[in-house]
Amino acid sequence: MTLRLPDFPWDSLAEATATARDHSGGLVDLSVGTPVDPVPEAIREALASVSEIPGYPATHGTPALRAAVVDALRRRHGVVGLEPDAVLPTIGSKELVAWLPRLLGVGPGDTVVIPELAYPTYEVGALLAGASVLRADGLFALGPRRPRLVWLNSPSNPTGRVLGVEHLRKVVGWARERGAFLVSDECYLTLGWDVEPVSILHPDVCDGRTDGLLAVHSLSKSANLASYRAGFVTGDPALVARLLAVRKHAGMIVPRPVQEAMTVALADDAALATQRERYARRRLVLQKALQDNGFQVDHSEAGLYLWATHGEDAWETVGWLAERGILVAPGTFYGPTGGRHVRVALTATDERVEAAAARLA
């Protein structure tokens, strides 16, 4: 059987990229959320500090790394009661998102629920497992269905929308009643601007019980470690143990130097604060520039993007910005209801962000 996957969305930006690159002031790439700021020195030193170790690393991660995850989630996000054994490092978060349904035994005949506007890899992961995909934000839309797996994403990529405690509590209860896996993509949890995002593992949400729940995290945005492929999943100890068993067989192991770098990054709240300040400054500059030039910015209360509309088809907006040397992603990459929005990333240098604002003005 031939596996049918959607076309890779960013391949369709080739024409707009060429147009933007031809601008006399050069390209301002706000289309992809890839870090541009330096990796903190302490993290780079940690990476090199264990480079002489020749043996295989532990799939479960070092005890120090797992303890650092538990401490960081408690300190930064108020998550209590986690045990280090319920933490599993991953090779970034994208590979976990793509393979999680299959690793949990989801397959043909099962339904995976994803947000109406969603990171494309949620859909890809369901398709890799042979499951069907249902886009739905409200539980009422599911009726009597009993999905096998439900994805949440707060703060959202692409919209920056944050789900409140009561909303999250309702989804947790609904999923538990139906025996569904509930997985929360929390890769942008440290980047709250107008509101403070809450983890699905916070006691106000889950009542201190992690059964049936998993939270996915990444250090790509908070610590500039996209090139390191540094992430982790935590939550229900039984589910983490199932994932660990399969990943041991499959060789899905985070390299030992990366584990050491993650341990240091998770303990460095000062470096996180510095990076947050950079993104906050860029966000204010871009938001003002867009709003001053007729754009409406919706949601965007947290995360790494501005969700903006010019009141027209998203591809028209992409073309209009490309003529000014600014590259953004059309909302259609994230679902059918994104057809009149574009996603504007905060991941460009201060100089490039200022250049984009000047061109809009």
Give the three-state DSSP class for 96.
helix
Query: Is residue 235 classed as helix, strand or coil in its secondary structure?
Result: strand
Tokens standing for residue 42: 């302490």
Q: Can you give the three-state secondary structure of 286-332, one letter per residue?
A: HHHHHHHCCCEEECCCECCEEEEECCCCHHHHHHHHHCCCEECEEHH
pLDDT in tens, the chain (361 residues): 567 887 888 789 999 999 999 999 999 999 998 999 999 999 999 999 999 999 999 999 999 999 999 999 999 999 999 999 999 999 999 999 999 999 999 999 999 999 999 999 999 999 999 999 999 987 767 777 899 999 999 999 999 999 999 999 999 999 999 999 999 999 999 999 999 999 999 999 999 999 999 999 999 999 999 999 999 999 999 999 999 999 999 999 999 999 999 999 999 999 999 999 999 999 999 999 999 999 999 999 999 999 999 999 999 999 999 999 999 999 999 999 999 999 999 999 999 999 999 999 8
pTM here? 0.95
- CATH fold of the domain at 52-268: Aspartate Aminotransferase; domain 2 (3.40.640)
Strand segments (E) across 236-290: none
Residue 129 phi, psi (nearest 5):
-85, -5
Same fold, 9-38+270-360 and 52-268: no
* CATH number of the 9-38+270-360 domain: 3.90.1150.10
How do the domains of the chain map onto residue ranges?
9-38+270-360, 52-268
